[in-house]
């Protein structure tokens, strides 16, 4: 019977948050410094922590704030409850006579106290986090800094070997982002991405302190964005009526991002990548010719029709109306206009366009692209929107409006006809343009998971993204350097949909997040691999199926195991439950949840009771 009791206790309490990566072969031991179980990612600018620990009573941590009535803070406090206290893991209560207990957490805005509604490019995300004398304090000059500090605080909490929830007893962190624009780009046109998956990706972006969701909404393959002005675009251009983002869907995603300090920047890519428009507005699209016949496709050269027709006036009236609608529906004052990969063979094949070019003294397709770009950029001026463009239109010497952001995506490593991304970055910033970098961070390019160099065979895939230094070869003035706003990790959707987006993107995108947040001196990949592994296991405990970076394990909450949280309702949005925020007057205790959350937690607690009973019977009959 004593063995039975012992093994039953093991079933109940063996949930210590373990994680470990190990060598690919014994002869290749891993280099670098191993990390504690609460290593922070991305690494703060300054951090000093003690080895001594405080205990935290499960589901009983009071959180105070001088912005408690702000919906962003009130909902964040609620949202972090299952993050602080993982819902499937059993946690021991400290005894009543213990004195080293964390008493509470306070989130305070200093100076001008206001609940800003939307984060902006120049919002202040800096924060200080201190823990001393059994009290934790996050201070910031904005609500966005409080969110970043709350995330760091959540990462410091862990379950120790005795299954107590603990945190360092002395912490002093001073932190702020290195770059203002820290983004992730998703492509929802080549494969439709369910709203629930986009929202989970926004969650994990916030766990990595990214602050821009660049949403590539439409492309050749489909037009899933439901326009109120032109509803036929999605009716005819979406894959099906189910593969559409309704106005409510878009508003839901924007709100989900807003509460996490993330801007949503939509991209409507033209004049190329527009075949899906032809399903409802064929008059906008260029008809391709060959051998004197229209609607002729040539494999790898042109389709029967593709790319906007710059000589058609209805192109500009349609774009004017659509961009005005986009501006009204997306609170960010930025619209990405695309303007990349304008393949000119179809234009040149069309005799009507060639004649129009002659009549208007347009001598080349580059000048034709410039003509189109000038008209669209004039629209953005008229509606007071800041445009973002892929670098192609700048390469063709289009004069862009002041404040335009150029997104650099070309690189000599991708195509020998291109220059290095560093030279593009230098030139654009020195010409007075704001710039964001994506060239080295196309995460849709996948590989085995490691690569060899002359000095090592253990270079993990994320090293390629982590070791990028955006300013390494920058030669401009300090003023020009300020125009390098940051960068984006991009995940193009040719081979990505809801089944693999989160595992394909994470934790590789976390490498980009640290590069854009942390100091340039935080660049040791061998050390970072251990911190990233800790962070990857942390993501699993938050319901994110982040892929492994190397051999090893996280714990009994790995995907498919008894304590997995990947499909836990607290971390998923397949059946959204809309609730109004009720802001408390003073403190929000984690002892209580909303009624909807409570019912879901009851079901999971019942599940674990049944699981433990079955485990008891299993051990008993095995002994017999």
Whole-angstrom Cα Rg for the chain:
27
Taking a C-beta distance cutoff of 8 angstroms, is the pair 331, 385 a contact?
A: no
The model's pLDDT over 171-217, given as tens digits with 9 standing for 90+, comes to 999 999 999 999 999 999 999 999 999 999 999 999 999 999 999 99
pLDDT confidence tier of residue 89, bands split at 50, 70 and 90: very high
Spatial separation of the C-alpha atoms in residues 392 and 343, rounded to whole Å: 11
Model confidence pLDDT, tens digit, residues 32-61: 999 999 999 999 999 999 999 999 999 889
Q: Which residue has the tokens 């603990």?
A: 166
Percent of the chain with pLDDT over 90: 79
Compute the distance between CA of residue 48 and CA of residue 174 in angstroms, rounded to an integer: 9
- Cβ-contact 517, 42 below 8 angstroms: yes
341 a catalytic residue: yes
Measured between alpha carbons, how far is residue 598 from residues 34, 78, 199, 568, 583 in Å?
A: 38, 12, 21, 13, 18
> In which band, very low, low, confident or very high, does the pLDDT at 126 lie, cut at 50, 70 and 90?
very high
Choose between 578 and 231: higher pLDDT: 231
Q: How many other C-beta atoms lie within 10 A of the C-beta of residue 162?
A: 10
DSSP three-state, residue 374: helix
Number of Cβ atoms within 10 Å of the Cβ of 517 = 26
The SS3 call for residue 202 is: helix
- Chain Cα centroid distance, residue 79: 18
Strands 285-287 and 289-290: unpaired
Considering only residues 601 and 436, tell me which one the structure prediction assigns the higher pLDDT.
436
Tokens of 385: 């929107």
Three-class HEC string of 12-69: HHCCCCCCEECCCCCCCCCCCCCCCCCCCCCCCCEEEECCCEEEECCCCCEEEECCCC
**Per-residue pLDDT tens over the stretch 91-107:** 999 998 899 999 999 99
Q: Is the pLDDT of residue 599 over 80?
A: no
Q: Which of 283, 341, 479, 482 is catalytic?
A: 341
Name the strands in the sheet holding 127-132, side by side, starting at the edge strand that comes first in the sequence.
Answer: 46-49, 171-175, 127-132, 135-140, 104-109, 62-65, 587-589
Which H or E run contains 528? helix 525-541
Which of helix, strand or coil describes residue 263?
Answer: strand
Q: Residue 420: what are its φ and ψ, rounded to 5°?
A: -75, 150
What is the overall mean pLDDT for the chain? 90
Q: What is the mean pLDDT of the segment spanning 271-281?
A: 97
Domains of the chain: which residue ranges? Answer: 46-175, 181-552
Q: How confident is the model at residue 18 (pLDDT cuts 50, 70, 90)?
A: low
Please give the DSSP secondary-structure letter assigned to residue 381: H
Whether residue 68 contacts residue 586, with contact meaning beta carbons closer than 8 Å, is answered with yes
- Name the pairing type of β-strands 212-216 and 127-132: unpaired
C-beta of residue 63 within 8 angstroms of C-beta of residue 103: no
The candidate with the shortest Cα–Cα distance to 534, out of 19, 14, 8, 5, is 19
With a threshold of 0.95, does the pTM exceed it? no
Q: CA distances (Å), 582 to each of 63, 69, 83, in order? A: 15, 8, 20
- Tokens encoding 153: 């605080």
Centre a 10 Å sphere on the Cβ of residue 146 and count the other Cβ atoms it contains.
26
pLDDT band at residue 11 using 50, 70 and 90 as cut-offs: very low
* pLDDT tens profile 293-319: 999 999 999 999 999 999 999 999 999
Domain 46-175 belongs to what architecture? 2-Layer Sandwich (3.30)
d(CA 41, CA 172): 16
Rounded to an integer, the average pLDDT of 251-276 is 98
Is the pLDDT at 608 greater than 50, yes or no?
A: no
Nearest CA to 217 out of 205, 233, 232 is that of 233
Q: What pLDDT does 457 receive?
A: 79
Indicate whether 471 pLDDT > 50: yes
Tokens representing 124?
Answer: 């202040």
The stretch 132-148 carries a mean pLDDT of 97
Return d(Cα 115, Cα 73) in angstroms, integer.
9
Q: Is 432 left (phi over 0), alpha (psi -120 to 50) or beta?
A: left
Please report, for residues 412, 573, 587, 594, the alpha-carbon distance to residue 78 in angstroms, rounded to integers and kept in the order given. 47, 16, 12, 8
The whole-number pLDDT of residue 416 equals 83
User: Helix axis angle, 2-13 relative to 595-623, nearest 10°?
Assistant: 150
Q: Are 334 and 407 in contact, with CB atoms under 8 Å apart?
A: no
User: Per DSSP, what are the bridge partners of residue 106?
Assistant: 64, 137
Are the CB atoms for 22 and 30 separated by under 8 Å?
yes
Q: If you average pLDDT over residues 563-579, what whole number do you get?
A: 81
Residue (of 162, 174, 175, 173) closest to 53 by Cα position: 162
Q: Which residue has the tokens 């607690």?
A: 605
Residue 65 β-bridge partners? 107
Cα separation, 75 vs 397, in Å, equals 47
Task: Find tokens 């629930």 and name the residue.
Answer: 196
How far is Cα 200 from Cα 573, in angstroms, rounded to an integer? 8
State pLDDT tens for residues 395-412. Answer: 988 889 888 999 999 998
CB atoms within 10 A of CB 79: 16
- Res 376 pLDDT > 70: yes
The CA distance from 100 to 150, in Å, is 21
The pLDDT-based confidence of 449 (bands split at 50, 70, 90) is: confident
CB 120 within 8 A of CB 92: no
Tokens representing residue 287 in the block: 């008809």
Distance CA 83, CA 568 (A): 12
Please name the fold of domain 181-552.
TIM Barrel (3.20.20)
Q: What are the Cα distances from residue 441, in Å, to 177, 262, 353, 444, 536? A: 19, 19, 37, 9, 19
Three-class DSSP category at 7: helix
């Amino acid at each position: 019977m004593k063995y039975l009791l012992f093994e039953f206790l093991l079933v109940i309490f063996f949930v210590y948050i373990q994680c470990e990566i190990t060598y690919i072969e014994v002869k290749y031991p891993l280099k670098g410094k191993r990390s504690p179980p609460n290593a922070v990612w991305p690494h703060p600018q300054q951090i000093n922590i003690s080895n001594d620990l405080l205990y935290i009573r499960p589901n009983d941590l009071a959180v105070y704030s001088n912005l408690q009535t702000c919906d962003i803070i009130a909902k964040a406090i609620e949202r972090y409850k299952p993050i602080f206290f993982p819902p499937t893991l059993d946690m021991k209560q400290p005894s009543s006579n213990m004195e080293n207990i964390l008493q509470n957490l306070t989130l305070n805005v200093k100076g001008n106290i206001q609940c800003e509604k939307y984060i902006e490019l120049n919002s202040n995300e800096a924060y200080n986090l201190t823990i001393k004398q059994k009290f934790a304090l996050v201070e910031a000059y904005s609500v966005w800094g409080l969110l970043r500090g709350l995330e760091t605080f959540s990462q410091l909490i862990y379950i120790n070997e005795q299954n107590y929830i603990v945190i360092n007893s002395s912490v002093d962190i001073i932190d702020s982002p290195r770059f203002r624009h820290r983004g992730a780009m998703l492509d929802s046109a080549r494969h439709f991405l369910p709203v629930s998956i986009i929202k989970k990706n926004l969650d994990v972006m916030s766990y990595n302190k990214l602050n821009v969701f660049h949403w590539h909404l439409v492309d050749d393959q489909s037009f899933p964005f439901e326009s109120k002005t032109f509803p036929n675009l999605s009716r005819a251009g979406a894959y099906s009526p189910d593969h559409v983002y309704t106005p409510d869907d878009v508003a839901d995603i924007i709100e989900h991002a807003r509460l996490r300090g993330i801007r949503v920047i939509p991209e409507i890519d033209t004049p190329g990548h527009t075949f899906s428009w032809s399903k409802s507005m064929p008059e906008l699209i260029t008809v391709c010719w060959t051998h004197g016949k229209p609607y002729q496709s040539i494999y790898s050269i042109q389709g029967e029709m593709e790319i906007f027709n710059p000589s058609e006036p209805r192109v500009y009236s349609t774009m004017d109306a659509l961009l005005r609608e986009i501006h009204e529906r997306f609170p960010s004052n930025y619209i990405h206009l695309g303007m990349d990969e304008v393949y000119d063979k179809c234009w040149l094949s069309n005799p009507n366009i060639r004649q129009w070019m002659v009549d208007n003294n347009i001598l080349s397709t580059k000048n034709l692209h410039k003509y189109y770009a000038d008209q669209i950029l004039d629209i953005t001026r008229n509606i007071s929107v800041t445009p973002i463009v892929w670098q192609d239109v700048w390469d063709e010497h289009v004069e862009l409006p002041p404040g335009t952001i150029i997104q650099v995506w070309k690189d000599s490593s991708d195509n020998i006809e291109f220059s290095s991304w560093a030279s593009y970055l230098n030139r654009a910033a020195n010409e007075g343009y704001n710039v964001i970098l994506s060239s080295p961070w196309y995460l849709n390019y996948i590989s085995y998971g490691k690569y060899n160099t002359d000095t090592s065979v253990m270079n993990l895939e994320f090293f390629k993204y982590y070791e990028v230094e955006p300013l390494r070869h920058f030669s401009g003035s300090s003023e020009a350097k300020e125009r390098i706003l940051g960068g984006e990790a991009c995940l193009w959707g040719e081979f990505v949909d809801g089944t693999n987006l989160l595992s394909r993107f994470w934790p590789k995108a976390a490498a980009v997040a640290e590069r854009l947040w942390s100091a340039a001196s935080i660049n040791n990949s061998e050390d970072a691999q251990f911190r990233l592994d800790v962070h990857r296991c942390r993501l699993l405990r938050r319901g994110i199926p982040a892929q492994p970076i190397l051999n090893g394990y996280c714990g009994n909450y790995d995907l498919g195991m008894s304590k997995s949280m990947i499909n836990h309702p607290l971390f998923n949005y397949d059946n959204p439950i809309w609730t109004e925020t009720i802001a408390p007057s003073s403190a929000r205790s984690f002892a209580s949840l909303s009624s909807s959350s409570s019912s879901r937690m009851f079901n999971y607690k019942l599940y674990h009771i049944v699981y433990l009973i079955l485990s008891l019977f299993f051990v008993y009959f095995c002994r017999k």
